[in-house]
């Protein structure tokens, strides 16, 4: 058994695991020098899009790369702003929803917008959105009750209107506007601020030979042993082609192992590397 354990150990190596979006990536610990909070970068004119610029790390000037862009992904802030814009649009949707309901009560026109809270654009997104961020998940849960209450207003207000109680129907709509809709807007506003505040990137400083560079990542998962051999897959881009996919021990989630030489090899700005 001791021999088997030794063989298994020889097939594993320590790696720093980190997230880019929902994907897990890893770098061998042998090339990782340190991990720090992202620092302001000074842009290098004429450099590639994925080169953020250079940073001053305790007196040492290092190139800073956006690993997402190098791998063909969208930038972290682009994802954040896209999500914030989506939430802002869903807020406008519900403001317009109540306005349209009020118009139909006043005119007697049929109300054609979604009355089922699970079938409006926000409801479909809300039911399918998944996150492992506990604070974000908690904030999102605050949207459920006011959202359902707003949609329930349609049936109540239209029934009142049909019974000739238009004044009561309009009063109900206004109560929802100053109550549940105001709550929904407040939570969505806080949620957008939280999403922007939580997007604080980290930098992994990697070194191979005499070359050292910082790469931006979303989140550090930790350090753990990973198999040295995995299933080779083809990806778009030279950097991705030099990577390998493996499975974590006891997990069916794939991890993409990157190599420092491929990251450094992508840099054509040799002058920046020499800094």
Q: Any idea where the domains of the chain sit in the sequence?
A: 16-73+202-273, 82-198
Backbone angles phi, psi at 247, to 5 degrees: -105, 135
Successive 10-residue mean pLDDT values, the chain, 275 residues: 47 85 89 89 86 90 90 80 90 95 96 94 89 81 94 96 95 96 95 81 89 90 79 44 71 84 68 45
CATH (one of 3.40.605.10, 1.20.120.30, 1.20.140.10, 1.10.357.20) for 82-198: 1.20.120.30
Give the span between the Cα atoms of 68 and 71, in whole angstroms.
5
Q: What is the pTM of this model?
A: 0.61
Kindly indicate whether the domain formed by 16-73+202-273 is annotated with CATH number 2.40.50.180. yes
Residue-wise pLDDT for 13-36, tens only, equals 799 999 888 889 999 999 999 999
Backbone angles phi, psi at 131, to 5 degrees: -150, 145
Give the span between the Cα atoms of 67 and 248, in whole angstroms.
21
Q: Which two tokens stand for residue 165?
A: 């109680």
């Amino acid at each position: 058994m001791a021999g088997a354990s030794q063989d298994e150990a020889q097939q594993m190596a320590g790696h720093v695991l980190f997230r880019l979006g929902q994907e897990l990536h890893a770098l061998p610990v042998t090339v990782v020098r340190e991990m720090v909070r992202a620092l302001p970068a000074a842009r290098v004119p004429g450099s590639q899009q994925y080169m953020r610029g250079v940073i001053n790390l305790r007196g040492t000037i290092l190139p800073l790369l956006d690993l997402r862009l190098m791998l063909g992904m969208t930038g972290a802030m682009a994802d954040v702003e896209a999500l914030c814009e989506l939430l802002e649009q869903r807020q406008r949707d519900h403001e317009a929803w109540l306005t349209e309901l009020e118009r139909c009560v006043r005119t007697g026109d049929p109300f054609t917008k979604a009355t089922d809270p699970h079938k409006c654009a926000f409801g479909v997104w809300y039911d399918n959105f998944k996150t492992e961020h506990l604070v974000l998940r908690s904030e999102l849960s605050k949207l459920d009750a006011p959202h359902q209450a707003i949609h329930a207003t349609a049936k109540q207000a239209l029934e009142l209107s049909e019974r000739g109680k238009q004044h009561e129907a309009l009063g109900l709509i206004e109560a929802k506007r100053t109550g549940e809709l105001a709550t929904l807007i407040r939570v969505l506003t806080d949620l957008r601020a939280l999403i922007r505040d939580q997007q604080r990137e980290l930098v992994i400083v990697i070194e191979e030979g005499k070359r050292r560079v910082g790469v931006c990542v979303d989140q550090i998962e930790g350090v753990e042993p990973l198999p040295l051999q995995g299933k080779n897959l083809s990806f778009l881009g030279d950097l991705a082609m030099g990577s390998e996919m493996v499975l974590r021990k006891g997990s069916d989630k794939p991890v993409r192992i990157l190599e420092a030489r491929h990251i450094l090899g992508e840099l054509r700005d040799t002058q920046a590397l020499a800094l």
